[in-house]
């Protein structure tokens, strides 16, 4: 469908993603910076993003699941492509066939893996994946197991890196350093996006940012050092004038206090516009904020455009862009920018921009 017939257009700036990757490299002099492209590159399109990063020189990629790795293997042919989610029984052969690197997080996974290079995940405080302290102690004393394991990286993941003052950062770093003395020497990988900004102590042989590549602010509370990456524009389908006292949308949760002009726009919660934005969110028209009024419905959302005569059927409202970032929408919706991006809908006409 051509852009000019689409009800909604999501523009992804691949050059900005590459620029963000370079910014992160400058901030992480201790080792290269991978591209985390799990969840379809945080909703922006893993094949397109991975290809752009690869063309810029990125040679390490992470996804969450095997099928995500298969979806990008062709566009990053000579790069390390690692699967964070661990080794599901019966999938080992696919890793070998497609030259994928499993991230092993238990003795059971280690024993099921037949020998190619692997990343060893150690738990330093998340209690989700990764070797628990007792398993690590067992592995450290088991020469046979260690000898058949080709450790490409030892990896751990920070639980609160976006909060620089959180004591868990220093505690996890200390535990990670202790882990490294127990195992054979191997490169290590620690920082996610925000971890890169915690200072040189958190530098490692391989950083693993996702969010910051996609323009989310890795330093909440401070100015965003990353370039914005997405623009989401949606079309106005209808405009109507309603009298004071008329209510709008399901369950009438918003009632006009004065004669009001309502614009109905072509997106809803089925497109990832969180329903918690009902009566809270905003769109922008021509540099002006127009408040979201009433309940977000599946395919439609209503805005108070009183005093903006330029808003007419067919014109565009900005949902994400220079006036409103994914982090801003997240704040209004009561979630984080990660969820806003990974919720972005499948109905948007997508346009990928490169220079």
- Six-digit token pair at 202? 């958190």
Q: 65 vs 352, which CB is nearer to ligand PLP?
A: 65
SS3 of 260, please? strand
* Closest approach of ligand PLP to the CB of residue 182, in Å: 20
Give the C-alpha distances (Å, rounded to integers) separating 154 from 116, 121, 182. 15, 6, 11
Please tell me the distance from the alpha carbon of residue 96 to that of residue 94, in angstroms, as a whole number: 5
Does the annotation mark 150 as catalytic? Answer: no
Give the residue nearest to ligand PLP (CB): 210
Q: 217 vs 306, which CB is nearer to ligand PLP?
A: 217
- Six-digit token pair at 302? 């209503």
Q: 23 vs 192, which CB is nearer to ligand PLP?
A: 192
Q: 36 vs 317, which CB is nearer to ligand PLP?
A: 36
* Closest approach of ligand PLP to the CB of residue 192, in Å: 3
Task: Count H helices and E strands in the chain, helices first.
Answer: 12, 17
258 class by beta-carbon count within 10 Å (0-12 exposed, 13-18 middle, 19+ buried) = exposed
* Closest approach of ligand PLP to the CB of residue 59, in Å: 17
Residue 267 in contact with residue 301, Cβ under 8 Å? yes
Question: Which of 95, 153, 214, 250 is flagged as catalytic?
Answer: 250
Phi/psi for 184 (5° steps) reads: -55, 150
Question: Which of 38, 42, 95, 338 is flagged as catalytic?
Answer: 38
Residue 204 in contact with residue 179, Cβ under 8 Å? no
* Closest approach of ligand PLP to the CB of residue 193, in Å: 3
* Closest approach of ligand PLP to the CB of residue 207, in Å: 9
Does the annotation mark 95 as catalytic? Answer: no
Q: 8 vs 193, which CB is nearer to ligand PLP?
A: 193
State the DSSP string of 261-298.
EEEEES--GGGT--GGGTTT-EEEETTEEEEB-S---S
Binding residues for ligand PLP (CB under 6 A)? 36, 38, 84, 157, 192-193, 208-211
- Six-digit token pair at 348? 């948007």
Which residues carry out catalysis?
38, 250
């Amino acid at each position: 469908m051509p852009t000019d017939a689409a009800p909604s257009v999501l523009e992804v700036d691949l050059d900005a993603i590459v620029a963000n990757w370079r910014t992160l490299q400058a901030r992480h002099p201790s080792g290269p910076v991978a591209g985390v492209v799990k969840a379809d590159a945080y909703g922006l399109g893993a094949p397109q993003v991975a290809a752009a990063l690869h063309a810029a020189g990125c040679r390490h990629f992470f996804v969450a699941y095997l099928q995500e790795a298969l979806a990008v293997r062709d566009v990053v042919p000579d790069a390390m492509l690692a699967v964070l989610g661990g080794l599901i029984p019966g999938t080992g052969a696919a890793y070998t066939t497609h030259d994928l690197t499993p991230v092993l997080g238990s003795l059971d996974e280690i024993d099921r893996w037949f020998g190619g290079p692997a990343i060893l995940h150690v738990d330093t405080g998340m209690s989700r994946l990764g070797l628990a302290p007792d398993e690590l102690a067992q592995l450290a004393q088991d020469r046979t197991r260690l000898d058949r394991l080709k450790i490409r990286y030892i990896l751990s993941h920070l639980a609160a890196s976006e909060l620089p003052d959180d004591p868990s950062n220093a505690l996890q770093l200390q535990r990670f350093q202790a882990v490294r003395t127990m195992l054979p020497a191997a490169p290590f990988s620690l920082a996610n996006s925000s971890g890169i900004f915690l200072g040189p102590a958190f530098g490692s042989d391989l950083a693993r940012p996702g969010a910051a590549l996609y323009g989310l602010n890795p330093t909440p509370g401070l100015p965003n050092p990353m370039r914005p990456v997405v623009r989401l524009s949606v079309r106005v389908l209808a405009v109507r004038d309603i009298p004071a006292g008329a209510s709008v949308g399901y369950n009438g949760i918003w009632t006009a206090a004065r004669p009001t002009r309502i614009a109905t726009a072509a997106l809803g919660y089925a497109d990832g516009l969180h329903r918690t934005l009902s009566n809270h969110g905003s769109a922008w028209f021509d540099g002006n904020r127009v408040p979201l009024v009433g309940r977000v419905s599946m395919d439609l959302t209503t805005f108070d455009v009183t005093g903006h005569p330029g808003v007419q059927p067919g014109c565009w409202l900005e949902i994400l862009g220079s006036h409103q970032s994914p982090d801003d929408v997240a704040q209004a919706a009561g979630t984080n920018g990660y969820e806003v991006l990974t919720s972005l809908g499948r109905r948007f006409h997508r346009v990928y921009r490169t220079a």
